[in-house]
Chain A
Amino acid sequence: MTIHRAEGPIGVRVRGTLARWNLESQRMRSPILRYGLSVVSVAIGLGLAFALQYYRFHDVELPVLTMSIAVTTWYAGIGPSVLAIVLAVACFNYFFTEPFYSFAVSASDLPYFFVFITWALIVAWFSAAGHRIENGLRQARDRLQVELEQRKHREDEIRQLNRELARQAADLEASNKELESFAYSVSHDLRAPLRHVVGYAELLQRQASSSLDDKSRRFMQTILESAKRMGNLIDDLLGFSRIGRAETKKAAVNLEQLVREVVAELRQETNGRDIDWKIGALPMCYGDRSMLKIVLVNLVSNAVKFTRLQSRAEIQIGCNGGKESQVEVFVRDNGAGFDMQYVNKLFGVFQRLHCPEEFEGTGIGLATAQRIIHRHGGQMRAEGAVDRGATFYFSLPKAQDAAERIANTL
C-alpha cells in the first residue's frame, strides 16, 4: 500500500504504524525465524517445566508445553506449530513419562499421549484462528486508515478549490466595482468640460458673431458640432456600459404589443415619409421589457434611417419559427443595406459602415442591441446586400418554455 502526500502529525503516525506492521509480517514470513521460534519456544517451555519440577510443582509440564505450542502458532503459523507439537510430544515422552530419558512408550500411556496431542491440536487451531482474525482486523484497519487519508486529501483539494473560487469571485467583484466607478466618473467628469466647451463657444458666437468672417463662423460651428457629437458618444458609451451592469428584470413580454408601441413612437418622427409597415404576428417571449424595447428601437430606427433614400420604404417585422425553445424575430428593410463581407463589423462598438454625411449615428446601437440579446441567452445576426436592404434577426427564449423551466427548478 502506498500513501501519497501524507501530511501532518496524523499522516506521520499512520505511516509509522504501517511500517511497523510491515516489518513484523516480514519477520514472520522468514522460514528460518518461524521454525527457530518453534524450537526456542519449546526449549523455553521445557526449561520452565524443569524449573517448576525442581520446586516440586508436579504435573505442570503439560500446560507449559501447550503454552509453547500456542505461542508458536500465534506468531509463526501452521508449519512451525506442527514442529512445536512434535518437539513438545518428544520432550514430554523423553523427560516426563516413564521410563524417563527414553522414547519408549508403554501401552498404558498411549491414551495419555492421545489426549495431549488432541489438546495441543485444539490449542494450535484456536491460536491459528485467532491469528487469522487479528490479521483480518489489521488489514481492515489498514484499509480504513488509507481511506481516511485519501478522504482527507480529497477534502483538502476541495477546500483548496473553494478558496480559489472565492478568490476569483472577489476579484470579479472588485473589477466590477472598478468598472462601475470608472463609468460613474466618466459620466460625471467627462461631460462637464464638454458642456463648458459648448457653452463658452456659444457665448463667444453670440458675443462676436457680427465681427467674425464666414470662415471663423464655420470654425465656431465645427467646434460646437464636434463637442455635441462627443457628448452623444459619451452618453451612448455610458448607456452601453449600463446595459452590461444593470440587473435584468425578466418576465413574459408581449413582443407584438412592444413592436407596435415602438413603431408608433418612431412614426411621429417620420411624418412626411412614405413607409410601408408590415407587422406580422409575434409570440410571447421571456425577457426584460425595457431592455427589449431598446433592442427594437435600435433595429426599427435603423430601418427607418437607412431607407431614407428610398422613394417607398418597406419595413417588415415578423417572426420565424426558430428553434423549439426560442423565437426568432426579424426586422427587414429595403434600404441601403451593407456588404456581407463586413457583417462582423456591424455589431462592434463605434463601428460604422457608412459615412456620417450619408447616415448619422455613433455606431453603438447594434452593439447595445446585441449585448442585450446575449444577456437574454439569445443570438443576433444580420443579412444584407448593398442597396438591396438588410435583415436583422434576434432570438429569445419563449415565454412558456421559460415558465416551465422556472417551475421545474422550484
Chain B
Amino acid sequence: MSELARILLVEDDPRDVELTLTALGEYNLANEVVVTRDGEKALDYLYSRGEFSARSHDNPAVMLLDLKLPKIDGLEVLQQIRSDERLKLIPVVVLTSSHEERDMIRSYQLGVNAYVVKPVDFHEFVNAIKELGVFWAVINEPPPGSVKKAP
C-alpha cells in the first residue's frame, strides 16, 4: 500500500483519521492513503527513513496536513518541505480545525497550495474531503517525481 500511496494524510486524532478515510472511501480513494500520526513521522515518510526506509523515493501526489500535531507541528513540516529541493514541489493542503487568521497567513506565506477548515457539519466535511481527494489525487496532474495514478 505504501508503495502506491498518492495521498499522505498527516493527522494525530484517530477519529479524524477514521472520518477522513470514510469520506475518501466513498470515492474509493482510501486505499491510496498513507497516514502518519505526527510531523516527525511525516518527514520520515517523505525522506524514506526510519520505519519508511524501505519505501521508494516517489513523492505523494498530495499531502493533507493538520496543523496541530505532536512533536513537529504542521507549519514546521510545511517549512521543512518548502526548503527542501526534492520535496518542495509536493502539493500541500492544510486541513485544520481552526479559523485562526494567523495560521492561514503563515501557511500561505510558506507556500501552501490550499487551506481548508474542517467543517463541523459531517456532510460538508465529507464533501470537502471527497473533493480534495478527487481533485488532488485524480484530476490534478502532480509534479514530476510523484506517485502516478495506477493504470
Binding site for B on A (CB under 8 A): 184, 187-189, 191-192, 194-196, 198-203, 227-228, 231, 235, 238, 242, 246
Contact = CB atoms under 8 A, between A and B. Distances in A.
A189 B68 CA distance: 9
Interface string B83-103: 000000000000011111100
Given A195-B120, A198-B122, A228-B120, A188 B68 contact: yes
Given A198-B120, A202-B122, A203-B22, A191 B16 contact: no
B44 interface: no
A228 B13 contact: no
B16 A187 contact: no
24 contacts: A184-B100, A187-B100, A188-B98, A188-B100, A191-B120, A192-B13, A192-B16, A194-B120, A195-B97, A195-B118, A195-B119, A195-B125, A196-B13, A198-B122, A198-B125, A199-B15, A199-B19, A202-B122, A203-B19, A203-B22, A203-B122, A231-B121, A235-B99, A246-B101
Contacts of B67: 188
Contacts of A228: 120-121
B71 interface: no
B99 A238 contact: yes
Contacts of A201: 122
Given A188-B68, A191-B120, A227-B120, A199 B99 contact: no
B15 A196 contact: yes
A225 to B, nearest CB: 11
A187 B97 contact: yes
A399 B147 CA distance: 58
A199 B122 contact: yes
Contacts of B121: 198, 228, 231
A199 B125 CA distance: 8
Nearest to A188: B98
Contacts, number: 59
Nearest to B122: A202
Contacts of B122: 195, 198-199, 201-203
B123 A184 contact: no
Secondary structure of the A contact surface, majority rule: helix
Minimum-distance CB pairs A-B, first 6: A231-B120, A202-B122, A187-B98, A196-B15, A199-B19, A191-B97
Nearest to B14: A196
Contact of A192 (B97, B99, B123): B97
Given A202-B123, A228-B121, A231-B120, A196 B98 contact: no
A196 B19 contact: yes
Nearest to A202: B122
A231 B125 CA distance: 13
Contacts of A189: 68, 97
Contacts of B125: 195, 198-199
A243 to B, nearest CB: 12
A189 to B, nearest CB: 8
A196 B101 CA distance: 23
B118 to A, nearest CB: 6
Contacts of A246: 101
A196 B16 contact: yes
B21 to A, nearest CB: 12
Interface in B90-147: 96-101, 118-123, 125
Contact of A200 (B15, B97, B98, B101): B15
Given A196-B16, A196-B19, A203-B22, A187 B120 contact: no
B22 A188 contact: no
Nearest to B96: A188
Nearest to A198: B122
A143 to B, nearest CB: 60
Contacts of B98: 184, 187-188, 191
Contacts of B120: 191, 194-195, 198, 227-228, 231
A238 B15 CA distance: 24
A202 B22 CA distance: 12
A138 to B, nearest CB: 68
A227 B121 CA distance: 9
Contacts of A198: 120-122, 125
Contacts of B118: 191, 195
Contacts of B68: 188-189
A235 B117 CA distance: 12
Interface string B61-91: 0000001100000000000000000000000
Interface in B48-66: none
A97 B8 CA distance: 129
Nearest to B119: A195
